[in-house]
Amino acid sequence: MNFIILTLFPDMISSLFGNGVLKRAINKGDISVIPINIRDFAEGKHKITDDRPYGGGCGMVMKPEPIAAAISSAKREFPKAHTILLTPQGRIFNQQAARDLLRHETLILICGRYEGVDERIREEWVNDEVSIGDYILTGGEPAALVIVDAVARLIPGTLGGESSAEEDSFSDGLLEYPHYTRPRSFEGAKVPNVLISGDHEKIREWRRKSSLMQTLLKRPELLDSSSLTGEDIDFFKKLHLRIEDVVQKIRD
């Protein structure tokens, strides 16, 4: 899978893929991350990529010509690329969105700066608009890195173990169960006995119930849209909780 990132600061992108899981995926050829400097497509001696907004107001707006030229250049090599504008006005990025993007062989991610990009880019040059949350960033680069990381780790083999991504938080709509490692006792706190029992079925049950409780206590709104099994509902009943009551409290 190819990730093409259009940015004014390509060094920000390159420096963050020089180690860890994604570096191994790049070296193996599972993914490619290609930062493209939008400024390279600006005209004139000074390579200007922004200008004052029509109608007045503070800040600067990124000019459409360099961005359109950068997109065109990328699509000459990857004609079926899915082009995404990173913007607060986009759909919220979550685990399901990451899975949806996985079906594209190439993503072009446009990183805005300043007050954003000229509206004509959004209207004519992009296939999708995505936001990583309801807060303000100085540019789209951090959002691009979040998307690359979240999508790339879903590619089989990227994480090493084939089930690693499937067991992460949000993979089934719930938070992940707690994790423990050596030593068995740390400052008086011990690893739950079930995890050292060797009984894989009991460990599975403990992890599922722990996942349900983590979600109920920390992010109960997730239960509204997660796929609960009959075993999960029985677990809540034993706690004298009806899932309908839990969901109603969330909505209230």
Same-domain pairing of 115 and 231? no
Q: Is 147 exposed, middle or buried (0-12, 13-18, 19+ CB in 10 A)?
A: buried
Domain CATH code at residue 201: 1.10.1270.20
Residues 153-190: b if buried by 16+ CB within 10 A, e if exposed: bbeeebbeeeeebeebbbebbbbbbeeeeeeeeeeeee
| Structure tokens, 140 | 């789209």
Same-domain pairing of 194 and 140? no
Question: 159 falls in which pLDDT band (50, 70, 90)?
Answer: confident
Out of 107, 128, 152, pick the residue that ends a domain.
Answer: 152
Domain annotation covers residue 69: yes
Per DSSP, helices labelled H in the chain are 10-14, 20-28, 64-77, 95-101, 119-124, 141-152, 200-218, 230-238, 243-251
pLDDT at 222: 87
**Helical (H) or strand (E) element with 34:** strand 32-37
Same-domain pairing of 112 and 218? no
3-state SS assignment for residue 113: strand
| Structure tokens, 84 | 């995404």
CA distance 242 to 47: 62
- What domain range is 107 assigned to? 2-152
Instruction: Kindly state the average pLDDT of the residues 236-249.
Output: 71
* Residues ≥6 apart with Cβ < 8 Å to 57: 115
| Structure tokens, 159 | 């994480």
Same-domain pairing of 146 and 191? no
pLDDT at 224: 83
Q: What is the mean pLDDT of the chain?
A: 90
Q: Which of 4-8, 139-143, 175-179, 196-200 has the lowest mean pLDDT?
A: 175-179
Dump pLDDT digits (tens) for 113-158: 999 999 999 999 999 999 999 998 999 999 999 999 999 999 988 8
Order of strands, sheet of 2-7, starting from the edge strand that comes earlier in the sequence: 32-37, 2-7, 106-111, 82-92, 128-131
pLDDT at 165: 57
Same-domain pairing of 96 and 204? no
Domain annotation covers residue 119: yes
User: Which are the catalytic amino acids?
Assistant: 88, 115, 153, 168
CA distance 31 to 20: 14
Q: Answer for the pair 220, 252: CB distance below 8 angstroms, yes or no.
A: no
Dump pLDDT digits (tens) for 51-84: 999 999 899 999 999 999 999 999 999 999 999 9
Domain CATH code at residue 102: 3.40.1280.10
Note the pTM of the prediction, 2 decimals.
Answer: 0.84
Q: Which of 170, 69, 67, 192 is CA-nearest to residue 122? A: 67
Q: Which of 48-57, 102-111, 158-167 has the lowest mean pLDDT?
A: 158-167
pLDDT at 164: 57
Q: How many structural domains comprise the chain? A: 2
pLDDT at 248: 65
Same-domain pairing of 139 and 191? no
CA distance 182 to 130: 40
**Hey, which residues does 110 pair with through a beta bridge?**
6, 85
pLDDT at 243: 63
Query: Which of the pair, 69 or 21, is modelled with greater confidence?
Result: 69
Same-domain pairing of 93 and 208? no
Same-domain pairing of 12 and 134? yes
Query: Which of the pair, 217 or 201, is modelled with greater confidence?
Result: 201
